Amino acid sequence: MKKLILWLLCSLALVSGAQASSEGPAWDKFPKERVTDVTALQNGAKIFVNYCLNCHAAAYMRYNRLRDIGLTEDQIKKNLVFTGVKVGDTMKVAVDPKEAKEWFGAVPPDLTVIARSRADASKGSGADYLYTYLRSYYRDDTKATGWNNLAFPSVAMPHVLWELQGQQRAVFAEEKDAHDPAKTSHVFKGFEPITKGTLGAEEYNSAVADLVAFLQWMGEPVQGERVRLGVWVILFLLIFTVIAWRLNAAFWKDVK
């Protein structure tokens, strides 16, 4: 009975998360070429370790797997491991889950496959969602954290990258419904800057793209190898098909 209740609660959480992610504006397109850019992936790993790994684990990814994006074990140890763990260990956090639930209202989710889990057929890939989400935070004094998010309204997570981006407010306007003049809609008009961050707007967008590229790579580190292998397999099947077709014609040519 306890297992059934737990399963139902998890299902409800996943459904509510999916609904939250489908609200808000259309998702911006993530620059896909970043996933194959080693420099972008390395910068994304640095941002992830410095800003995300404090609360969010990546428990299915080992530090030494970062050798696949061109980092040496010594570079990983000196620049990306801060808690005394070994390079062969998984990316876990020191935060106790019970304390995290008390502080944030819910345990911060594991981010190993977050880019794959957030895909929406009607809006785009999980990378598109994350790229939009991390650029859609705005100040909202009505929320406990002081932050809100256009892509995920009433999100519990504060804006951890605000020092890089700066602070902005969302501008909304009340507009009459085109089909029913008696009704009005709360329409988002854009963002207004409040304070500047350490990065300019383009620099921040580029940093977010690098971070999202790393999150997508982390969900399937062998994606590039799988695609390359798939091309060779298709070429082999095409060549084999031609050979089989000619052999078949030669074998049956004398059969009336």
Is residue 37 within 8 A of residue 13, CB to CB? The reply is no
Lookup result for tokens 């502080």? 103
pTM: 0.80
Give me 192's structure tokens. Answer: 């207004």
Lookup result for tokens 């060779």? 232
As a whole number of Å, the CA-based R_g of the chain is 24
Give me 98's structure tokens. Answer: 């019970």
Exposure of 176 by Cβ count < 10 A (0-12 exposed, 13-18 middle, 19+ buried)?
A: exposed
Distance CA 138, CA 146 (A): 9
pLDDT tens-place string over residues 70-112: 999 999 999 999 877 899 999 998 888 888 888 877 889 999 9
pLDDT tens-place string over residues 224-243: 888 889 999 999 999 999 99
Residues in the chain: 256
Distance CA 66, CA 218 (A): 9
Distance CA 46, CA 213 (A): 12
At residue 20, the pLDDT reads: 43
Is residue 146 within 8 A of residue 155, CB to CB? The reply is no
For the chain, what are the domain ranges?
15-165+200-221, 225-256
* CA dihedral for 87, 89, 92, 98, sign (positive or negative): negative
Is residue 15 within 8 A of residue 115, CB to CB? The reply is no
CATH of domain 15-165+200-221: 1.10.760.10
pLDDT tens-place string over residues 128-153: 999 999 999 999 999 989 999 999 99
In this prediction, what percent of the chain has a pLDDT beyond 70?
90
Is residue 42 within 8 A of residue 70, CB to CB? The reply is yes
> Does residue 24 or residue 147 have the better pLDDT?
147
Give me 240's structure tokens. Answer: 């084999």
Beta bridge partners of 138: 148
pLDDT tens-place string over residues 165-199: 999 999 998 887 777 777 887 788 899 999 999 99
Torsion of CA 28, 112, 10, 102, to 10 degrees: -100
Give me 182's structure tokens. Answer: 């008696």
Name the strand (E) or helix (H) holding 7.
helix 2-22
Q: DSSP characters for 177-197? A: -SS-TT-EEEEEEEEEEEEE-
